[in-house]
Amino acid sequence: MKVFVKGIGLLGPGLPDWAASRRILAGAEEYRAMPVALSAPLTLPAAERRRVGTPVKIALAVGAAACSDGEWDVSSLRTVFTSSGGDGDNLDYLCSTLASPAREISPTRFHNSVHNAAAGYWTIAARAHGASTSLCAHDGSFSAGLFEAAAQALASGAPVLLVAYDHPYPEPLHGKRTIAAAFGVALVLAPAASGASAALTVQVTDRAPPTAMPDAMLEALRTGVPAARALPLLALLATRRAATLSIEYLPHCALGVTVVPC
């Protein structure tokens, strides 16, 4: 499947946005891990801003950034959201409450526990009415989302916004499922080349060693956060180099991605 990149959003430790991160990912500037700075999404009504957790804020921030460079009608843009675990803070609250003598669950917390919560808040923030898909595939969640978004773009003949995001669980869940940092990435993928920065050819391949990052700290980020499996792809987009990558997908296969700058 061949699709074209027409927007990029990025947020992670030491990677505050796509514009500021391109030289780092290209190896022209030293990478320094720093805490992720987040603010409440102003496009949400005040009540919803108070309710959203950090994972949703990450998803909305990178999704909006990917759409900001293009003249997209976000109200009709198809979306694919993918996360390996959703809102871990909210899950911890639910588990702790259900294990306590007082088992009453906040309706708002329950509402935010569904895996498509980020997609739901996106529809409110962007006043979006386009079709939306929410996925989870453990450590292969980014690949699952990329494959799905590419397929939808080609099947529909219209652009698709892909949003991948993850956030650490609190203890004791963190000890059982360790996610190293908060991270989000978004790509607008389209079936036509006009105005694109790169072409991506995506296919499922036999399982192969994943493409690693040359910088040790960025490689630790890549392996420590499922959504950060996108880093080798982002590095190629930053350097505008052509190459073929292997990205973790399912236990028996990988995702092969060939990048060609436009």
From first to last of its 262 residues, what are the pLDDT tens digits of the chain? Answer: 999 999 999 999 999 999 999 999 999 999 999 989 887 787 888 888 888 889 999 999 999 999 987 778 888 999 999 999 988 888 888 988 899 898 888 888 887 888 999 999 999 989 999 999 999 999 999 999 999 999 999 999 999 999 999 999 999 989 999 999 999 999 999 999 998 999 999 999 999 999 999 999 999 999 999 999 999 999 999 999 999 999 999 999 999 999 999 9
In this prediction, residue 258 carries a pLDDT of 98
Domain 2-195: state its class. Answer: alpha beta
In this prediction, residue 48 carries a pLDDT of 84
Beta strands in the chain (DSSP E): 2-11, 78-82, 132-135, 160-166, 183-190, 198-206, 243-248, 253-261
Q: To 10 degrees, the CA torsion angle through 64, 228, 180, 11?
A: -30
**Structure-token pair, residue 193:** 């080349």
Domain boundaries, the chain: 2-195
pTM of the entire predicted model: 0.95
Q: How confident is the model over 111-129, as pLDDT tens digits?
A: 788 899 999 999 998 999 9
Q: How confident is the model over 167-224, as pLDDT tens digits?
A: 999 999 899 999 999 999 999 999 999 989 999 999 999 999 999 999 999 999 999 9
